[in-house]
Amino acid sequence: MSSRRSRGTTTLTDDQIAELVSKLQQLLPELRNRRSNKASASKVLQETCNYVRNLHKQVDDLSDRLSRLLSTIDDNSPQASIIRSLID
Amino acid sequence: MSPQPSSTNPNSLKIQLAYQFLHNLNNLNSKRSNLATTHIRQRSNRVKIAAYASMAYVVGSRRAWSRAILRTIRNRRMLARNKRVDHKITHRPRSAKRRNPKRDYVDPNGNSGQEVKLRKLVPGVEKMDACGLLDETADYIKYLKTQVEVMKNLVDLYSTI
How many Cβ atoms are within 10 Å of B105's Cβ, its own excluded? Answer: 16
- % pLDDT > 90, chain B: 26
pLDDT in tens, B106-120: 555 555 688 888 899
**Counted domains in chain B:** 1
For the residues B135-144, what does the mean pLDDT come to? 90
- % pLDDT > 70, chain B: 70
Question: Do the chains contact at A87 and B22, CB–CB below 8 Å?
Answer: yes
The 8-class DSSP code of residue B32 comes to S
Candidates A5, A16, A69; nearest CB to B159: A69
pLDDT in tens, A34-88: 545 566 777 788 888 889 999 999 999 999 998 888 777 656 666 666 666 665 5
- Does A18 contact B at CB distance below 8 Å? no
Residue B75 CA to residue A66 CA, distance in Å, equals 25
pLDDT in tens, A3-16: 444 444 445 566 66
- Does A67 contact B at CB distance below 8 Å? yes
- Residue B31 falls inside a structural domain: yes
Integer angstrom CA distances of residue B102 from A8, B98, B111, B115, B159: 7, 10, 13, 12, 49
In Å, how far is A79's CA from the nearest CA of chain B?
A: 7
Which range is least confidently modeled, B18-22, B27-31, B106-110?
B106-110
Q: Is the ipTM of this complex over 0.85?
A: no
**Is residue B30 very low, low, confident or very high in pLDDT (cuts 50, 70, 90)?**
low
**Under 8 Å between Cβ of B56 and B69:** yes
**Under 8 Å between Cβ of A62 and B155:** yes
- Percent composition of chain B: helix, strand, coil (DSSP 3-state, to 5): 70, 0, 30
Task: Write out chain A residues lying below 8 Å of B130, CB-based.
Answer: 3, 8-10, 12
- Residue B149 falls inside a structural domain: yes
B148 pLDDT more than 60? yes
Of A83, A10, A46, A5, which is closest to residue B114 (Cα–Cα)? A46
Rounded to a whole number of angstroms, the distance between the first and last alpha carbons of chain A is: 42
Of B23, B27, B51, which is closest to residue B152 (Cα–Cα)? B51
Domain region containing B111: 10-87+107-160
Question: Do the chains contact at A66 and B35, CB–CB below 8 Å?
Answer: no
Candidates A6, A41, A82; nearest CB to B129: A6
Greater pLDDT, B61 or B98: B61
For the residues B129-154, what does the mean pLDDT come to? 90
Candidates A9, A45, A67; nearest CB to B40: A67
Task: Write out chain A residues lying below 8 Å of B29, CB-based.
Answer: 70
- Residue B140 falls inside a structural domain: yes
pTM: 0.72
**Under 8 Å between Cβ of A79 and B158:** yes
- Does A54 contact B at CB distance below 8 Å? no
For the residues B5-20, what does the mean pLDDT come to? 77
In Å, how far is B160's CA from the nearest CA of chain A?
A: 9
Question: Do the chains contact at B23 and A87, CB–CB below 8 Å?
Answer: yes
Residue B65 CA to residue B139 CA, distance in Å, equals 9
- Residue B139 falls inside a structural domain: yes
pLDDT value of residue B27: 79
Candidates A55, A71, A83; nearest CB to B43: A71
